[in-house]
Structure 1
Amino acid sequence: MSNTLNEDNTPDLKVDEASISPIERRNSLEKHLQERPDVQDLKSRNILLDTNAAPALQAKQHELDRQKQSDNLKKQLEKRPEREELIERNILPDSSAAPALQATQRSLDKNMRADSLEQKIQQRPKPNELVKEGILEADEDPLKDQA
Structure 2
Amino acid sequence: MSDEMPPSSTNPISFERRNSLEKAIQNRPEAHELRERHILLNTNAAPALQAQQQELQRHKLTDSLNKAIASRPEKDALVERNILPDSTAAPALQNHQRELAAAMRRDSIEKHLQTRPSPAELIKEGILEANENPLDEP
Q: Deviation at 1:122?
A: 1.5
- Per the alignment, in what secondary structure is the counterpart of residue 140 of structure 1? coil
Say if 1:119 and 1:18 are closer, same or farther in 2 by CA, change over 3 A.
Answer: farther
2:9 is aligned with 1:21: yes
Q: Deviation at 1:27?
A: 4.1
* Alpha-carbon distance in 1 for matches of 2:90, 2:66: 28
Say if 1:124 and 1:64 are closer, same or farther in 2 by CA, change over 3 A.
Answer: same
Q: Deviation at 1:126?
A: 1.5
Give the RMSD, CA atoms, in angstroms.
Answer: 2.5
2:110 is aligned with 1:83: no
* Aligned equivalent of 1:12: none
Structure 1 residues 56-135: aligned runs within 5 Å: 56-135=48-127
* Alpha-carbon distance in 1 for matches of 2:52, 2:96: 50
2:41 is aligned with 1:49: yes
Question: Could you tell me the TM-score, scaled by structure 1's length?
Answer: 0.76
- Per the alignment, in what secondary structure is the counterpart of residue 21 of structure 1? helix
Question: Could you tell me the TM-score, scaled by structure 2's length?
Answer: 0.80
* Alpha-carbon distance in 2 for matches of 1:30, 1:126: 90
* Alpha-carbon distance in 2 for matches of 1:137, 1:18: 113
* Alpha-carbon distance in 1 for matches of 2:89, 2:43: 50
Equivalenced residue count is: 129
- More strand per residue: 1 or 2? 1
Q: Deviation at 1:28?
A: 4.2
CA contact (8 A) 1:130 1:136 kept: yes
Higher RCO by CA contacts (8 Å cutoff, separation 6 or greater): 1
- Per the alignment, in what secondary structure is the counterpart of residue 70 of structure 2? helix
Q: Deviation at 1:96?
A: 1.3
Amino acid at match of 1:66: R
Unaligned runs of 5+ in 1: 1-16
